[in-house]
Amino acid sequence: MISTVSDDKITEIGPARNALSTLKDEFEELWRCRRLIVVLASRQLSLRYKNSAIGVAWSLLIPLVQAGAMAVAVEYIMSAGPQNMGSYILCAYLPWTFFQSAIMDGSSAVLMYQDLLKKVYLPREALPISAVLANLVHFAMAFVVFLIFRYGFMSCMYGWPGLPPASVFMLPVVLIILTAYTMGVTFILCAWTTFYEDVKYLVSTTTQLLFYVVPIIYFAEKIDSSTTLPHAHLLYRLYLANPLAWIVTAFKQMFFGVCLLSAKGDPHIIKSAPFNYKYCALHAVISFTILIGGYAYFNHMKWKFTERP
């Protein structure tokens, strides 16, 4: 514990102070160190592809290649899904990639700076926040590529798709929800990973499984229209209660609107659903609850980080 003496006051910095401080105090301290967060995020951005020949272009090329491979497999080999499947998959794949990369980088952020934390005081929460922000920048750059792909390249193949629906103006709101949810999950996983090495392997395995739970290479609406699943409509509602499932679906709805999802030769006519504002409000509440809860939990645990052997 560190104590500083000023006149007749003794201010303690450490577990005692942390027990008496409020979440508001912690946030105010973090806000004073906002420039540090920007520096840490910039450092991660510069180091990721420092010795790479094409540098940041990898952040743009990798999603395109992966989405293209999945589109070929789904649309042409499996003959499932509508035309322009590549745009649908890329639109869904980018927010998923941001979430996956952010929690992977953020959960190990404290471990990366463990030696520094033993020598210099800084708000521990700045480390996972900077990791999430760095991945948010990569997501923004990759999303520009999606827009060019959707309204440029695909227009040459399938014709001009028209303007996106009015719900596209909800994009900033959905991005805030996605970032809040990702940040909250990252805070919790970072605290766990700092003490238990097994967590990072568990996170890696879980995100691989979650890829198939989130509607990236298929459409959530097909659950609702299923003739084989019991209580399909109820399952569809429960499915969209998963923040990630709804966020990915919302991205498709904002940029494609209500479209025919049935493949050629499919006797069942399936259409995508419009943007649902009630789900948007629900997941705003869920995401910010997880963010505040994760932030509080992280701050409760952070004074023990330097005790890690």
What confidence tens digit (pLDDT) does each residue in 14-30 have? 444 444 456 777 778 88
What's the rounded Cα separation, in Å, for the pair 230 and 242?
A: 19
**Confidence (pLDDT) at 13:** 47
Residue 82 near residue 88, CB atoms below 8 Å: yes
- 57-62: long-range contacts, CB 8 A cutoff, minimum separation 24: 59/138, 59/141, 59/142, 60/141, 60/142, 60/145
Residue 119 reports pLDDT greater than 80 = no
* Residues above pLDDT 70, as percent of the chain: 80
Q: Enumerate residues 6+ apart whose C-beta is below 8 A from 231.
A: none
Once rounded to an integer, what is the mean pLDDT over residues 88-104? Answer: 91
**Confidence (pLDDT) at 273:** 84
What's the rounded Cα separation, in Å, for the pair 172 and 82?
A: 27
What confidence tens digit (pLDDT) does each residue in 32-71 have? 888 888 888 888 887 776 666 566 666 677 777 777 777 7
**Confidence (pLDDT) at 159:** 67
User: Which residue would you say has higher pLDDT here, 15 or 96?
Assistant: 96
What confidence tens digit (pLDDT) does each residue in 83-92 have? 777 788 888 9
* Collapsed DSSP state (helix, strand, coil) of residue 6: strand
Residue 4 reports pLDDT greater than 50 = no
Residue 95 reports pLDDT greater than 80 = yes
What's the rounded Cα separation, in Å, for the pair 268 and 44?
A: 48
Q: By CB neighbour count within 10 A (0-12 exposed, 13-18 middle, 19+ buried), where does 110 fall?
A: buried
- pLDDT category, 80, cuts 50, 70, 90? low
Q: How many residues does the chain have?
A: 309
Q: Distance of alpha carbon 47 from its chain centroid, rounded? A: 21
- Asked which of 112-116, 191-195, 280-284, 288-292 is least confident by mean pLDDT, the reply is 112-116
Q: Enumerate residues 6+ apart whose C-beta is below 8 A from 5.
A: none
**Confidence (pLDDT) at 90:** 86
**Confidence (pLDDT) at 9:** 39
Is the pTM for the entire model greater than 0.75? yes
> What is the dihedral sign for C-alpha 13, 19, 20, 22?
positive
**Confidence (pLDDT) at 69:** 77
Residue 152 reports pLDDT greater than 60 = yes
Residue 161 reports pLDDT greater than 80 = no
**Confidence (pLDDT) at 153:** 72
Q: Enumerate residues 6+ apart whose C-beta is below 8 A from 168.
A: 254, 255
What's the rounded Cα separation, in Å, for the pair 222 and 216?
A: 12
What confidence tens digit (pLDDT) does each residue in 180-194 have? 999 999 999 999 988
Report the chain's mean pLDDT, rounded to a whole number: 81
CA distances from 183 to 63, 112, 132, 133, 189 (A): 22, 18, 7, 9, 10
Q: Enumerate residues 6+ apart whose C-beta is below 8 A from 307.
A: none
Query: Where does the chain show beta strands of DSSP type E?
Result: 2-6, 9-13
**Confidence (pLDDT) at 2:** 43
Highest mean pLDDT, choosing among 134-138, 170-174, 198-202, 236-240: 170-174
What confidence tens digit (pLDDT) does each residue in 258-277 have? 777 765 556 567 777 889 99
Domain boundaries, the chain: 23-307
What's the rounded Cα separation, in Å, for the pair 130 and 34?
A: 10
**Confidence (pLDDT) at 8:** 42
Once rounded to an integer, what is the mean pLDDT over residues 281-291? Answer: 96
- Cα–Cα–Cα angle for 83, 152, 46, rounded to 5 degrees: 110
CA distances from 303 to 31, 129, 188, 194, 297 (A): 19, 17, 15, 12, 11
